[in-house]
A and B are shown apart, each in its own frame.
Chain A
Amino acid sequence: MAVLAPAPVSTAPVPGKKRLSRALSERRTRFGLLNAAPVVVYLLVLFVYPIFSTLMLSLKGDDGAFTLHWYADAFKGANLEILLTTLRISAETSLLSLVVGFVLAAAVSRLKPLWAGLVMVVVVVPHFISALVRTYGWIILLGEHGVVNNALTGLHFPGAPFQLLYNEVGVVIGTTSVMLPYTVLLLYAVMKGIDRRLMAAAASMGAGRLTIFRRVYVPLVAPGLVNAGILCFILCLGYYITPALMGGPKQTMVASLIDTQVMKQDQWNGASALGIILLLLTFAGLLLLKLLQSAGERYRNRGTAP
Chain B
Amino acid sequence: MPETNVIPEPSLAAPAALAGSGKALSVRRLRKTYAGVTAVDEVSMEIAAGEFVTFLGSSGSGKTTTLMMIAGFCEPDSGSIVVGGNDVTRLAPQKRGLGFVFQQYLLFPHMTVWENVAFPLQLRGVPKAEQRRRVGETLEMAGLSKMARRRPRELSGGQQQRVALCRALVYRPPVILMDEPLGALDKKLRDQLQTEIKRIQQELGLTVIYVTHDQEEALVLSDRIAVMRDGRIDQFDTPQELFERPRTPFVADFLGAANFLPGRVEEQSADHTLVRLDTGGLLKARPQVAPDGARVRAGVQPGRLFLCPAGDGFCTGTVETVTYVGTLVRVTVRPAGGTATDLVRLELPAGRAPALGERVDLAADPANVSVFADAEDGG
A: residues with CB less than 8 A from B are 195, 197-198, 200-208, 210-211, 215-216, 219-220, 222, 300-301, 303-306
Write the nearest CB–CB distance from B58 to chain A, whole angstroms: 23
B119 interface residue per 8 A CB criterion: yes
In whole angstroms, how far apart are the Cα atoms of A216 and B122 in the complex? 13
The chain B residue with its CB closest to the CB of A306 is B132
Contact (Cβ within 8 A) B149 A204: no
Contact (Cβ within 8 A) A201 B123: no
Contact (Cβ within 8 A) B100 A211: no
Contact (Cβ within 8 A) B1 A210: yes
Write the nearest CB–CB distance from A20 to chain B, whole angstroms: 30
B118 interface residue per 8 A CB criterion: yes
In whole angstroms, how far apart are the Cα atoms of A195 and B109 in the complex? 10
Contact (Cβ within 8 A) B110 A205: no
Write the nearest CB–CB distance from A195 to chain B, whole angstroms: 7
Contact (Cβ within 8 A) A211 B3: yes
Known: A200-B73, A205-B100, A207-B119. 19 other contacts (CB 8 A): A195-B106, A198-B106, A198-B108, A198-B109, A201-B100, A201-B106, A203-B93, A204-B99, A205-B171, A206-B94, A206-B97, A206-B171, A207-B94, A207-B123, A210-B1, A216-B108, A304-B112, A304-B114, A305-B148
In whole angstroms, how far apart are the Cα atoms of A195 and B212 in the complex? 23
Chain B residues contacting A222 (CB-CB under 8 Å) are 110
Q: Which of A216, A220, A303 contacts B148 (CB 8 A)?
A: A303
B7 interface residue per 8 A CB criterion: yes
Chain A residues contacting B132 (CB-CB under 8 Å) are 306
B289 interface residue per 8 A CB criterion: no
Write the nearest CB–CB distance from B174 to chain A, whole angstroms: 13
6 cross-chain pairs, A with B, having the tightest CB-CB distances, nearest first: A303-B149, A204-B100, A205-B120, A201-B106, A305-B148, A305-B114
The chain A residue with its CB closest to the CB of B97 is A206
The chain A residue with its CB closest to the CB of B104 is A197
Q: Which of B99, B114, B115 contacts A205 (CB 8 A)?
A: B99
Q: Name 14 interchain pairs, CB-CB below 8 A, sorted by A.
A: A195-B104, A198-B109, A200-B106, A201-B100, A204-B72, A204-B73, A205-B100, A207-B119, A208-B6, A300-B111, A301-B149, A303-B148, A303-B149, A306-B132
> Main secondary structure on chain B at its contact with chain A?
loop
Max chain A Cβ within 10 angstroms of own Cβ: one of B3, B7, B148: B3
Q: Which of B94, B106, B110, B115 contacts A208 (CB 8 A)?
A: B94
Chain B residues contacting A219 (CB-CB under 8 Å) are 110
Contact (Cβ within 8 A) B119 A205: yes
B48 interface residue per 8 A CB criterion: no
Q: Which of B1, B98, B124 contacts A204 (CB 8 A)?
A: B98
Q: Which of B7, B108, B151 contacts A206 (CB 8 A)?
A: B7
Contact (Cβ within 8 A) B1 A203: no
In whole angstroms, how far apart are the Cα atoms of A37 and B136 in the complex? 55
Contact (Cβ within 8 A) A303 B108: no
Chain B residues contacting A198 (CB-CB under 8 Å) are 106, 108-109
Contact (Cβ within 8 A) A304 B118: yes
A200-B73, A201-B106, A206-B97 known; A305-B112 Cβ under 8 A = yes
The chain A residue with its CB closest to the CB of B164 is A201
Q: Which of A201, A216, A303 contacts B102 (CB 8 A)?
A: A201
Write the nearest CB–CB distance from B250 to chain A, whole angstroms: 31
Q: Which of A195, A205, A210, A215 contacts B168 (CB 8 A)?
A: A205
Interface size range on B against A:
35 or more
Chain A residues contacting B6 (CB-CB under 8 Å) are 206, 208
Chain B residues contacting A210 (CB-CB under 8 Å) are 1
Q: Which of A201, A204, A211, A303 contacts B112 (CB 8 A)?
A: A303
Write the nearest CB–CB distance from A66 to chain B, whole angstroms: 51
In whole angstroms, how far apart are the Cα atoms of A220 and B171 in the complex? 24
In whole angstroms, how far apart are the Cα atoms of A301 and B150 in the complex? 8
B228 interface residue per 8 A CB criterion: no
In whole angstroms, how far apart are the Cα atoms of A205 and B7 in the complex? 10
In whole angstroms, how far apart are the Cα atoms of A219 and B110 in the complex? 7
Write the nearest CB–CB distance from A217 to chain B, whole angstroms: 10
Write the nearest CB–CB distance from A113 to chain B, whole angstroms: 20
In whole angstroms, how far apart are the Cα atoms of A301 and B93 in the complex? 30
Chain B residues contacting A200 (CB-CB under 8 Å) are 73, 93, 106
In whole angstroms, how far apart are the Cα atoms of A202 and B167 in the complex? 10
Chain A residues contacting B106 (CB-CB under 8 Å) are 195, 197-198, 200-201
B294 interface residue per 8 A CB criterion: no
Chain A residues contacting B94 (CB-CB under 8 Å) are 203-208
Chain B residues contacting A305 (CB-CB under 8 Å) are 112, 114, 148-149
Per-residue A-contact encoding for B114-135, CB less than 8 Å = 1, 0 else: 1100111001100000001000
Write the nearest CB–CB distance from A295 to chain B, whole angstroms: 14
The chain B residue with its CB closest to the CB of A299 is B110
The chain B residue with its CB closest to the CB of A210 is B1
Chain A residues contacting B7 (CB-CB under 8 Å) are 206
Q: Which of A195, A211, A303, A304 contacts B123 (CB 8 A)?
A: A211
Chain B residues contacting A300 (CB-CB under 8 Å) are 110-112, 151
In whole angstroms, how far apart are the Cα atoms of A198 and B149 in the complex? 20
In whole angstroms, how far apart are the Cα atoms of A300 and B1 in the complex? 23
In whole angstroms, how far apart are the Cα atoms of A200 and B148 in the complex? 23
In whole angstroms, how far apart are the Cα atoms of A224 and B210 in the complex? 37
Chain A residues contacting B92 (CB-CB under 8 Å) are 203
The chain A residue with its CB closest to the CB of B120 is A205
In whole angstroms, how far apart are the Cα atoms of A222 and B109 in the complex? 13
The chain A residue with its CB closest to the CB of B124 is A206
A200-B93, A204-B98 known; A304-B120 Cβ under 8 A = no
Contact (Cβ within 8 A) A220 B109: yes
Chain B residues contacting A304 (CB-CB under 8 Å) are 112, 114-115, 118
The chain B residue with its CB closest to the CB of A214 is B1
The chain B residue with its CB closest to the CB of A205 is B120
Chain B residues contacting A301 (CB-CB under 8 Å) are 112, 149
In whole angstroms, how far apart are the Cα atoms of A205 and B132 in the complex? 18
